[in-house]
Structure 1
Amino acid sequence: MNIRRITSSRNDRVKHWRKLATRKGRDENGTLLIEGVHLLEEAVQAGWKIRAILVSDEGTHILDRVAGLGDAPIFSLYPSTFQQLVDTPSPQGIAAEVVVPSERGPLQSADRARVLLLDAIQDPGNLGAILRTAEAAGVRDVWLGTGTVDPYNPKVVRSAMGSLFRSRLRRVDLKKGIPELKRQGYFIVSTSPRAERYHFRFEFPTKTALLLGNEGRGVSPEVQALSDTHVQIPMPGEVESLNVSVTAGILLYELVRQDWTQGDGES
């Protein structure tokens, strides 16, 4: 195992990795830094290309715990330099620069095709939780509308806990993307407290796109107008609204319930 040692925090590679802490840096380079053994293993298993592996001088032994790293170059850094590059106080002494795959491509092919549309979701923790729940419910296609937080933000990556690497993300203008989905036969469903039907009394079509909006404002009026129908999640308590990640979980698992009730799942 060939480990290249970097001794200066002013090294060009360190400067490059430092830029990946920003959305601009990630977008310009098409890569991001991930931290810790678990996320590195998840990325490898999902087939993401590893461009470089970073280890703290005191953590080189941890490389033996990660399989499938291939021939990616390994760089050892002073602990202080390594800590400057990572977002968590205890990242296990290992990180990696990984290449972001293309966001384009056909939608997932399935008898019951589902797409999740997110309009200006701003909280990284919410987006990460939504991606994890969507994968658990079998939904891999997630379209991120204008104003949505960068899916490669370190907090999103951590809260998604590996689901990010298996999600099929597409950043789009939903005012243009939703008509595209409709041409492909998708039915657009969003929520509204004034909807006439509860979500569990609506039979979701086989090709459904769920539309969820911003934490404070909900779905923008221009995008909401493109919905084919609205459903209401009943709230017999006195709260005015649900966290968007909770709303996503309720609707996604209603899709799962209906699919299984109709014989597509296992008992």
Structure 2
Amino acid sequence: MTKYISSPQNSTVKRLLQLQSKSRIRAKEGGFIIEGLRELELCIKGGYEIAALYFVPALVSEEALLALFVEDTVIILTEISQEVYEKLAYRGSTEGVIAFAKAKQQNLNDLKLPKNPLILVAEAPEKPGNIGALLRTADAANVDAFIIANPKTDLYNPNIIRSSVGCVFTNQVATGSTASVIAFLKERGISIYSAILQDAQYYHEQDFTTPTALVVGTEATGLSEVWRVASKQNIIIPMSGAIDSMNVSVAAGILVFEAKRQRGF
């Protein structure tokens, strides 16, 4: 039987708000909140388990939601009032659905890589908007994996899910310490190309047709020194303006699409 929640003061609503706002609660419960039909559909296609759905019947039907799942999927459905939805929703145009999904572990060893992988690595990105943009770039280029070294932000932060427009679910994503990521790449014979100014050559002069990891750092501090040492070659993007840096997702896009061009897309 479908449940119904009408009051924003309901204990379930308070729990959902905590899941949205607090990383430690997401970690404790092993799950996160999704908002919107597009994000929900991408999450399901990405192999995530949806544990519960909360929806406004006037905005989206139960039948439309169940159609997103394979037949006989067991799912807890709860109708919510418009007032409750407005309390929970980050934005007003998300078709009246909120979901609770189970998190994945993002272990490096769980990545399924082809024989000649192209991997994008970002070290210590902090801003949800930048992480979301990196995830969109990784999806657009269809890289084989996106790895975050030294993560500073919970991957299931609602701002990351929103700014990635659901691409957090469409990419193979893993996280680990910088040391563990470097060891993972080297053990698999994946050449490291680090975006570092020191001892660098132009990115477009490199051969990215073999197993490749393209590594970018933050705009504020760049990459840590260990990446310079671990690199097969440090690389730079020629700059013609007054400044010597650009947004990390823009730089990542330039690098990965050059690699895709070399590989014939």
Instruction: Compute the TM-score of the two structures, normalised by the length of structure 2.
Output: 0.89
Report the CA distance between 1:18 and its aligned residue: 1.8
Question: In the alignment, does 2:221 pair up with 1:229?
Answer: no
Q: Check conservation: 1:116, 1:139, Cα contact below 8 A.
A: yes
Question: In the alignment, does 2:135 pair up with 1:131?
Answer: yes
Residues 196/224 of structure 1: CA separation in 2 closer, same or farther (3 Å cut): closer
* Counterparts of 2:110 and 2:54, CA distance in 1: 34
- Specify which of 85, 91, 95 is matched with residue 88 of structure 2: 85
**TM alignment of 1:90-239, pairs within 5 A:** 90-104=93-107, 105-204=109-208, 206-239=210-243
DSSP 3-state at the match of 2:119: strand
Residues 63/153 of structure 1: CA separation in 2 closer, same or farther (3 Å cut): farther
CA root-mean-square deviation: 2.1
Report the CA distance between 1:189 and its aligned residue: 0.8
* Counterparts of 1:219 and 1:196, CA distance in 2: 13
Report the CA distance between 1:108 and its aligned residue: 2.8
Q: Which moved more, 1:29-38 or 1:49-58?
A: 49-58
Structure 2: 5+ residue runs without aligned partners? none
Return the letter of the residue paired with 2:32: L
Report the CA distance between 1:234 and its aligned residue: 0.5
| Residue deviations 1:159-207 (CA, integer Å, cap 9, x gap) | 2223211222222111232023212211111112344421111112511
> 4+ residue runs of structure 1 moved beyond 6 angstroms?
none
* Counterparts of 1:93 and 1:24, CA distance in 2: 26
Count of aligned positions: 260
Match of 1:47 in 2: 47
Q: Which moved more, 1:212-221 or 1:55-64?
A: 55-64
Report the CA distance between 1:57 and its aligned residue: 5.5
DSSP 3-state at the match of 1:242: coil
DSSP 3-state at the match of 1:150: coil
| Residue deviations 1:61-86 (CA, integer Å, cap 9, x gap) | 37526622333111122222222222
DSSP 3-state at the match of 2:201: coil
Report the CA distance between 1:225 and its aligned residue: 3.3
Report the CA distance between 1:88 and its aligned residue: 1.9
* Counterparts of 1:159 and 1:234, CA distance in 2: 28
* Counterparts of 1:3 and 1:60, CA distance in 2: 14
Question: In the alignment, does 2:12 pair up with 1:13?
Answer: yes
Return the letter of the residue paired with 2:46: A
* Counterparts of 1:106 and 1:33, CA distance in 2: 23
* Counterparts of 1:190 and 1:198, CA distance in 2: 11
Return the letter of the residue paired with 2:94: P
Residues 148/102 of structure 1: CA separation in 2 closer, same or farther (3 Å cut): same
Q: Which moved more, 1:48-57 or 1:139-148?
A: 139-148
Structure 1: 5+ residue runs without aligned partners? none
Question: In the alignment, does 2:7 pair up with 1:3?
Answer: no
* Counterparts of 2:77 and 2:188, CA distance in 1: 45
